[in-house]
Amino acid sequence: MYINVNFKFTGVVKTVNSKKIIKFFIPNQNIYLWIIGILVLILFRYNIIISLIGGVIFVYLVYYKATTTYKSEERWKEIVENLTLDIDAATQNILLDLPFPLLIIKKDGEVIWYNSYFREACKVETNILSMKITDLLTDIDLNDINKIIGNKNSINYSLGEKIFKVFSNAVESINSEDILMLYWLDITDYELIKQNYISEKPLIAYIQIDNYDEVLQDSSESYRPLINAVIDRKINAWAKELDAFIKKYETDKYIMVFEQKYLSPLEEKRFNILDIIRETQSGNKIPVTLSIGVGNSQNSLSFMDSQRLSKSALDIALARGGDQCVVKKDEKISYYGGKSQAIEKRTKVKARVKAHGIKELIQNSDKVYILGHQIPDVDCLGAALGIYRCSKFLDKETNIIFNKSNPSVDILYETLIKNNYSDVFISSEIASKNITSNTLVIAVDVHRRSFVEDSNILDKAEKIIIIDHHRRGSDFIDDAVMVYLEPYASSTCELVSEIIEYMDEGIKLEEVEATALLAGIYMDTKNFSFRTGVRTFEAASFLKRKGADINKCKQLLKDDKDIFVAKIEAVKDAEITEENMAIASIDYTSDKIKLIVAQTADELLNLQGVNASFVIAQDDGVAIISGRSLGDVNVQVILEKLGGGGHLSVAGAQLENVSNEEAKIMLKQEIKDYIREGEDK
C-alpha cells in the first residue's frame, strides 16, 4: 500500500501571519470565564436581580466548560488507544512478514524471537529459543554487535553460502529490559560482484632482464639469437599461463597486464619465473636474471597509479640487485627472490654520468654537508672523506656531519685529527642551524631514512644525493635529487673512488684520504675475498696510484685484545643448526659490542660446513643481530623479516626490548621460513 502526501506551499507566510493575528484576538476560554465572573460581582453591587441571573449563567458556563473538556479528553484518549492498538497490530504483522531474516535477543545474547527467514538462513530444524547467539553462531562477537547499536554501521557475517550485512537496534520491552533487534540484509550478490570486480582488476607488471648485455657479450655470437628466443619463449609461456597480455617494448624489457586473481598464486609460488629464467642454459655462460615490478593500488582505480606503482616496484627490484620481484601495494612492499648475487656491471658509463651530475650539483650549491649512517664504519667515513675532497676541489664550503666516534672508526678518526681534519667535522646540531635552501646534503653508505646520523638534516635539506651500495630497503629517502645505488659494488668507497676518477683528473687525494677509501673496500670485502669484481680491483689500483698505503690500511682495521678474546669466546660457544647456519649469542658488555658482533659473524664463516652465520648481542636494551653468508644464503631476506636490511651476504637487524634468547627464537623461525620457501619453489 502506497500513501501519497501532497504539500501545498502557496501563501505559507501569509497563512502563518493570519493565524497569529486570529490567535491574538481569540485567547483561551478560561479568560472569558474570569471576565464574566468579575462582571457578575460588580453587577451585584448595583443590581441584585441582574447579578443573580448573571451568576446562574456563569455557573452554567463553568459546568458546560468542565463537561465538554472531560468529554474531549476521553474522546482523544479513546482515539489514541485505538491508534496504539492499530499500530501494535501493524507492527506485529510487519515483524512476521519482513522479507529478510530478523533475530531478537537479550543484552546477554539469549535468543527470544526469530522469524522463518532467519531459521532458513541458519538451516536449523530445532527450536533455538533461549539459546545463546554465541552458541548458535560460534564466530559472532557480542561486542561487535553492541558497537553498531543505533547507528548506521554494520558488520558482515556469513551464514552458509550467503553473506549478510547485520544492523542492530535496541528496543525497550514491556518489563523495561532492553532487547536487541538484529536485521540481516542479504548482500551475497553484491559481494560476488565486488569479488569478481576485484579479481578481474587489471594489474601492470614491468619485467626487465638484469644482465642482458653481459649475457650476450659473454656468449658466442652463434648462440645469441637462441638465447633471445629461449628467454622470449619462457616469458611468453609464463604470461600465457596467466592469461595475460605481454608486450616486448625494448630488447630487454617487457610490460605485462594480468588480472588480480592471479597475483596470490604468483606470490604463493614466489614468482617461480625467476628460477625458470635463471636456469636457462642455451650457450650462455652467465645465468640470466629478471627483475619484476608489480603495482597494486587498493586506494585507486586509476591505470596511471597502477603504472606508477609498478615502475616504482621495478626500480626497487633493480636497486636491490635484481633477480627478484617486488610487489608494491600502496605503501606495503613485498619481496620475492633475490637469492643470487648482483651481477657486476662492467661498463662504467653510469659511473661517469653520475660523477658529472654530482659535480654539477656541487657547483650549483653554496655549501655541502656529507651525512653518513648511525655509528659509522670505515666504509662510511672513508666514502665521506672522498666526497669531501671532491667538493673542496670545486671550492665549496664542505663539512662531514659526525657526532661521535665509535670503536670501528676510532683509529681512523684519531689519525684524521692528528692530520688537522678537526675542522672538517661538525655536529648535526650545528649543521641543522646552518642549512639553507641551496645547501647540498650528500648521504653516503646509507639510503634508509631511519638509519642516517640525523634525519632532521634530511627534513631541512632541499637537495639530497644518495651514494650507497646496500640493497634498497623500504624506508627509502624518497626526496633525493640524485640516487647512485649500486648493490653490485663491494662498498661505497668503491663507488666514490670511481666518482673521483671521472669527476676530474686534477683531484688530488691526501694519503690519509686514499688510505681510508682503500680501508673501506678492504673491510667490506673481507680482505678482498668477498663480493669482489673487476671494478673492485680497478678502484683499489686507482687508490694505490693516488697514494693509498696498504700497511696503514691494515693498521686502521686492527683489533684490540678485548675484541679478539670476545670473538674467540663467541665462536667457541656457537650453535650450528641443521641448515648449516651458525648462531652465536654474546653476553659480553662493551662499548665495542657492535664491532665484536660483526667481526664474530665473519669469523664463523671460516668454520667448515657453515653457509651463513648470525651473531646476537645486547646494546643498551636492544638486541642487535649481524648476519653473514658465503652467497648461497640471502641473509638480507632473513633479517628483513625482523626489520633489518643490508646485502645478500651482509645484513643486520635491531630488536628493541628483546632478550638474546627471544631474538634467537625469532631468528630460528625466520631461518626455517626461509628454508621452507626455498623448498616450496
Give 216's contacts (C-beta < 8 A, 6+ positions apart).
224, 227
Of 495, 494, 468, 498, which Cα lies nearest the Cα of 480?
468
Q: For 39-72, give one letter per residue: b (16+ CB within 10 A) or e.
A: ebeebeeeeeeebeebbeebeeeeeeeeeeeeee
Residues at the annotated binding site? 373, 377, 379, 445, 469, 524
Over residues 578-587, the mean pLDDT reads 86
Sheet of strand 155-159, all strands in order from the earlier edge strand to the far edge: 111-114, 102-106, 178-186, 162-172, 155-159
Return the CATH architecture of domain 205-337. Answer: 2-Layer Sandwich (3.30)
Residue appearing with cell numbers 532467519: 118
Flag whether pLDDT at 404 surpasses 70.
Answer: yes
Flag whether pLDDT at 327 surpasses 70.
Answer: yes
Flag whether pLDDT at 431 surpasses 60.
Answer: yes
pLDDT bin (cut points 50, 70, 90) of residue 339 is: low
Q: Tell me: the pLDDT tens digits for 605-615?
A: 888 888 899 99
Q: What pLDDT, on the 0 to 100 scale, is given for residue 177?
A: 64
Q: How far is CA 557 from CA 72, 288, 643, in A?
A: 107, 37, 29
Half-sphere exposure of 122 (CA within 13 A, CB side): 20
Of residues 47 and 397, more confidence is placed in 397
Flag whether pLDDT at 80 surpasses 50.
Answer: no
Over residues 433-461, the mean pLDDT reads 91
Flag whether pLDDT at 319 surpasses 50.
Answer: yes
Q: What pLDDT, on the 0 to 100 scale, is given for residue 174?
A: 54
Residues at the annotated binding site for Mn(2+)? 373, 377, 379, 445, 469, 524
* Lowest-pLDDT range of 2-6, 169-173, 444-448, 567-571: 2-6
Contact in structure between 385 and 517 (CB atoms under 8 Å): yes
Torsion 601-338-483-496 (CA) sign = positive
Q: Taking the model in full, what pTM does it have?
A: 0.60
Contact in structure between 558 and 526 (CB atoms under 8 Å): no
Contact in structure between 412 and 556 (CB atoms under 8 Å): yes
Q: Tell me: the pLDDT tens digits for 276-297?
A: 988 888 777 788 889 999 998 8
pLDDT bin (cut points 50, 70, 90) of residue 523 is: confident
Over residues 126-149, the mean pLDDT reads 76
> What crossing angle do the helices spanning 410-418 and 378-393 adopt, rounded to 10°?
30
Residues 394 and 353: their CA atoms lie apart, in Å, by 18
Q: What pLDDT, on the 0 to 100 scale, is given for residue 494?
A: 93
Give 53's contacts (C-beta < 8 A, 6+ positions apart).
none
Task: Kindly state which CATH superfamily the domain 98-193 is placed in.
Answer: PAS domain (3.30.450.20)
Flag whether pLDDT at 206 surpasses 70.
Answer: yes
Contact in structure between 338 and 318 (CB atoms under 8 Å): no
Pairing outcome for strands 367-371 and 290-295: unpaired
Contact in structure between 512 and 553 (CB atoms under 8 Å): no
The grid coordinates listed for 588 are 659480553
Helix (H, G, I), strand (E, B) or coil at 146: helix
Q: Return the percentage of the chain with pLDDT > 70, whole number.
A: 88
Which residues make beta-bridge pairs with 581? Answer: 612
The grid coordinates listed for 358 are 654530482
Flag whether pLDDT at 335 surpasses 80.
Answer: yes
- Cβ neighbourhood burial of 339 (10 Å; 0-12, 13-18, 19+): buried
Q: What pLDDT, on the 0 to 100 scale, is given for residue 216?
A: 84
Of 552, 557, 625, which Cα lies nearest the Cα of 586?
625
Highest mean pLDDT among 17-21, 81-85, 98-102, 418-422: 418-422
Q: What pLDDT, on the 0 to 100 scale, is given for residue 156?
A: 82
Flag whether pLDDT at 362 surpasses 80.
Answer: yes
Max CA-CA distance within the chain? Answer: 143
Q: What pLDDT, on the 0 to 100 scale, is given for residue 287?
A: 85
pLDDT bin (cut points 50, 70, 90) of residue 171 is: confident
Over residues 143-152, the mean pLDDT reads 73
Residues 242 and 227: their CA atoms lie apart, in Å, by 23
Give 33's contacts (C-beta < 8 A, 6+ positions apart).
58, 61, 62, 65
Of 162, 156, 149, 165, which Cα lies nearest the Cα of 122?
162
Give 80's contacts (C-beta < 8 A, 6+ positions apart).
none
Mean residue pLDDT across the chain: 82
> What are the domain boundaries of the chain?
22-96, 98-193, 205-337, 349-556, 567-680
CATH of the structural domain 567-680, one choice from 3.10.310.30, 1.10.540.10, 3.90.1640.30, 3.30.70.2190: 3.10.310.30
Residue type, 15: T
- Per DSSP, helices labelled H in 253-377 are 263-268, 273-278, 303-319, 349-363
Contact in structure between 470 and 496 (CB atoms under 8 Å): no
pLDDT bin (cut points 50, 70, 90) of residue 645 is: confident
φ/ψ of 599, rounded to 5, equals -70, -30
Residues 252 and 291: their CA atoms lie apart, in Å, by 11
Q: Tell me: the pLDDT tens digits for 602-640?
A: 888 888 888 899 999 988 888 999 998 877 788 888 888
Q: What is the DSSP string of 574-637?
A: -EE-TTSEEEEEE----TTHHHHHHHHHHHHTTSTT-SEEEEEEEETTEEEEEEEESSSS-HHH
Of residues 594 and 240, more confidence is placed in 240
Class of domain 349-556: alpha beta
Residues 532 and 422: their CA atoms lie apart, in Å, by 33
